[in-house]
Structure 1
Amino acid sequence: MDGSARLDAIDRVLARDGWAERPLAVLDLDAFDANLAELARRADGTPLRVASKSLRVRALLERALTHPGYRGVLAYTLPEALWLVGHGIEDLVVAYPTAERAALRRLVGDPSALAAVTLMVDEVAQLELILDATSDVRGGALPIRVALELDVSYAPLPGVRFGAHRSPVHTPEHARALAQEIVRRPGLELVGLMAYEGHIAGVADAARTPYGAAVRTMKTLSRPDIAARRAEAVAAVREVADLEFVNGGGTGSIESTGAGGAVTEIAAGSGLIGPGLFDHYRDFRPRPALHLGFSVVRRPGPGIATLLGGGWIASGVPGEDRLPTIAHPAGLSYAPQEAAGEVQTPVVGAAADDLRVGGTVWLRHAKAGEPAEHVATYVLISGDEVVAAVPTYRGEGAAFL
């Protein structure tokens, strides 16, 4: 069943079962489960750690973790990780450094959290902050588990750089020096290393344009550099401390990350949802699982209809690729003077003449997890049945960023 036919079927299921209010977020479990299996197949036996930022729905995290190819959660804040520990998740790595002193104190005061949560660090100042924030509550607590992050951005020439600005740890020597700083502090235990190649995993490369060709070339050239530096850094750090895990990659780099040899687990999350940005990847296009329905509320003139809302813009460098994809009905585009707006979104095209007030236009967000910040509930559909309505983090009253 193609995407348009599937959304027609979803419309019928929702109408039959009385789901009339919009906006509405619908999660196609059949697509989600297919993506779950496909990511595990691509990993070829390397465990996948679920990136919670790409889901932000506990029920979906728990569903992913029941699959034998998945192990643990890659959280995005320490308060989120503590909250998930409180709901029974036992293996969490916080992907970003933390400066939340109150959360650090809560971590030290909870033995189950101390055993379950690993913090990310990339400089000595972070170590000092962690220890200072917890100095008066540590007592005889277990050491705080930490992982260091290695930067694997690609810099082939002076002044030329590809990749996110993340860690200042660029070389195996930097990694060894930071590892030594960690192990000489008795309140900390070094257990892992992370090296995320965002310029491969998170950059679209399917465009048949000079830019698309340049991206593909950059990825091809940077993969050997990443594999070599990561392997050297892991070897250097293992001279200082045993490592329980080496984390790398993302949905867009599963094969190349796993082929490097040094990685023991791969992060993945966006590929379970199949957001709009993945329509522009060459090697892997997940099935679209999350659909966002918005009501038609106006008919300003021929060939134009207006939605209430719709402007859920993705984070990152502003551009058309950060707009939601208009998924259904076919034949619609944004009005160029307005695009997607917070309170109204005009859509134009021949298909607009067939829309009526109260009808639904289906969008797909450019990113996987951000829609969960806008709605309290995801409606889960399998086949032609609504099987559950589950809360997002926001629906549970939890807001972490």
Structure 2
Amino acid sequence: MSLDLLSSATATEPWKEPASFWGGLSHAVRDVSGPVATLSLPALRYNALDMVVRAGGVPIRVASKSVRVREAIDATLAMAGYQGILAFTLPEALWLAEAHDDVVVGYPTADRAAIASLAADERAARRVTLMVDDLAQLDLIDAVAAPGARPELRVAIDADASWRAPGLGHIGVFRSPVHEPGEVAALARGIAARPGFRLVGLMMYEAQIAGQGDDTGSGDGMIRWMQRRSSRELLERRAEIVAALRDVAPLEFVNGGGTGSLEFTASDQSVTELTAGSGLLAGHLFDGYRSFELAPAAAFALEVVRKPAPDVATVLGGGWIASGPPVASRQPLPVWPQGLTTLPREGAGEVQTPLRGDAARDLHVGDRVWFRHSKSGELAERVDRYHVVDGERLIGEVPTYRGEGKAFL
């Protein structure tokens, strides 16, 4: 099916009535066997529109890694306020570029076969932009396809947006080795001097702001202080970097932000576009933010197969752990019936997951328990399709990347 997010938005927010919302999902998929993953069409529509409002008129590039469903990506791009895709691998970008003309690869690549495919396809070379942060990455590309034997390749620089805090050191993620304006400008000049490449863009992802909740109930005051200080530093440094790069090449885009920082990044006059994806499907990792509240668009249900104790119900499966540090926030979160928790010594299991709580007393073999995945896109690696639900109605299904036979990472 083709998802339609352009129709009139629902007048209600059913997810705010948990019994009705999760009960509606259960009713809609009552005849679907086994583990089942769902997309709530009203919730997806709400999230997509809410992010456009938060972006304040700055176009949003869809982060495909946080979706991994082509129909959902296409439906989002059909909405005003969205433009282009940020892919996570070059093979994925080549696949998506068959239908889309603006695909930026968000990470450097060393995939020689994919580089060779890009170099042999003039249309793909016009549509796909590679990400670099080191001239060694250009050396690898040239070793696969010499500049004179291929079309000119589009590249963008990934500059480090972390905060090097006085006395605290590096705060953020470890991505690019170029941080200071002079370092980024030197890399840009090196790219401009290389035949066969054209510098078209800059990306700076402020993970310490976009990817760090400030309303989690743990250290929120310190996190807000850090984000205020980091934001001020980044506004100045990004402006200096952009000014330096524009002396080297006429940039087509300056990309920044993420679901958690749309308002801040949109306020940066140096930025021409934002990136977001997690906010569409709304993994529970993005629950702890003061400035926005997402609707649970993606969820999955597992079936109770045994009752080892009156207050324990065991479901088949569950070990769908998200990437990142091995902490509780990366586990799938049981959300319905309310009050269920995983056991500290077992967590979410490879084949079975025991859940404890008073609600388990009323669960029977064959009943369903609803979960939300921690990271939005990674659930798609566990299922081959999402069942699309509107209220209590099952209106169709859409394949995930996995369902289309694709496994990019």
- Pairwise TM-score range, normalised by the shorter structure: over 0.9
Instruction: Give the superposition deviation at 1:208.
Output: 3.4
Corresponding letter in the other structure for 1:399: A
Query: Would you say the 8 A contact 1:121–1:148 is kept in 2?
Result: yes
**Identity, % of aligned positions:** 48
RMSD of equivalent CA atoms: 1.1
Corresponding letter in the other structure for 1:354: D
- Normalised TM-score (structure 2): 0.94
**Counterpart in the other structure of 2:20:** 5
Cα distance in 1 between the residues matched to 2:141 and 2:18: 48
**Counterpart in the other structure of 2:10:** none
**Counterpart in the other structure of 1:297:** 305
Query: Would you say the 8 A contact 1:49–1:72 is kept in 2?
Result: yes
Cα distance in 1 between the residues matched to 2:18 and 2:184: 46
Cα distance in 1 between the residues matched to 2:287 and 2:364: 29
Query: Would you say the 8 A contact 2:312–2:360 is kept in 1?
Result: yes
Cα distance in 2 between the residues matched to 1:5 and 1:221: 42
Match of 2:318 among 292, 310, 313: 310
Deviations along 1:15-67, whole A, 9 cap, x unmatched? 2xx22x12110000110011000000111110000000000010100011000
Instruction: Give the superposition deviation at 1:388.
Output: 1.7
* Structure 2 residue matching 1:400: 3-state secondary structure: coil
Match of 2:40 among 6, 10, 28: 28
Cα distance in 2 between the residues matched to 1:262 and 1:393: 34
Answering whether residue 370 of structure 2 is matched by residue 355 of structure 1, we say no
Match of 1:119 among 130, 134, 139: 130
* Structure 1 residue matching 2:249: 3-state secondary structure: coil
**Counterpart in the other structure of 1:60:** 72
Query: Would you say the 8 A contact 1:296–1:358 is kept in 2?
Result: yes
Answering whether residue 354 of structure 2 is matched by residue 346 of structure 1, we say yes
Answering whether residue 374 of structure 2 is matched by residue 366 of structure 1, we say yes
Q: How many residues are paired up? A: 394
Cα distance in 2 between the residues matched to 1:48 and 1:257: 11
* Structure 2 residue matching 1:242: 3-state secondary structure: coil
Match of 1:207 among 211, 216, 219: 216
Instruction: Give the superposition deviation at 1:212.
Output: 1.8
Query: Would you say the 8 A contact 2:334–2:340 is kept in 1?
Result: yes
Query: Would you say the 8 A contact 1:274–1:285 is kept in 2?
Result: no
Match of 2:179 among 165, 170, 177: 170
Query: Would you say the 8 A contact 1:335–1:346 is kept in 2?
Result: yes
**Counterpart in the other structure of 2:157:** 148
Query: Would you say the 8 A contact 1:146–1:190 is kept in 2?
Result: yes
**Counterpart in the other structure of 1:378:** 386
Cα distance in 1 between the residues matched to 2:293 and 2:240: 32
Corresponding letter in the other structure for 2:120: G
Query: Would you say the 8 A contact 1:152–1:197 is kept in 2?
Result: yes
Any stretches of 5+ residues in structure 2 without a counterpart? Answer: 1-13
Following TM superposition, where does structure 1 have runs of at least 4 consecutive aligned residues deviating by more than 3 angstroms? none
Query: What are the within-5 Å matches in structure 2 for residues 52-91 of structure 1?
Result: 52-86=64-98, 88-91=99-102
Instruction: Give the superposition deviation at 1:207.
Output: 2.8
Corresponding letter in the other structure for 1:114: A
Cα distance in 1 between the residues matched to 2:217 and 2:362: 33
Query: Would you say the 8 A contact 1:201–1:251 is kept in 2?
Result: yes
Cα distance in 2 between the residues matched to 1:182 and 1:161: 27
Corresponding letter in the other structure for 2:199: L
Corresponding letter in the other structure for 1:396: E
- Normalised TM-score (structure 1): 0.96
Cα distance in 2 between the residues matched to 1:360 and 1:199: 37
Which one is further off, 368-377 or 328-337? 328-337
Any stretches of 5+ residues in structure 1 without a counterpart? Answer: none
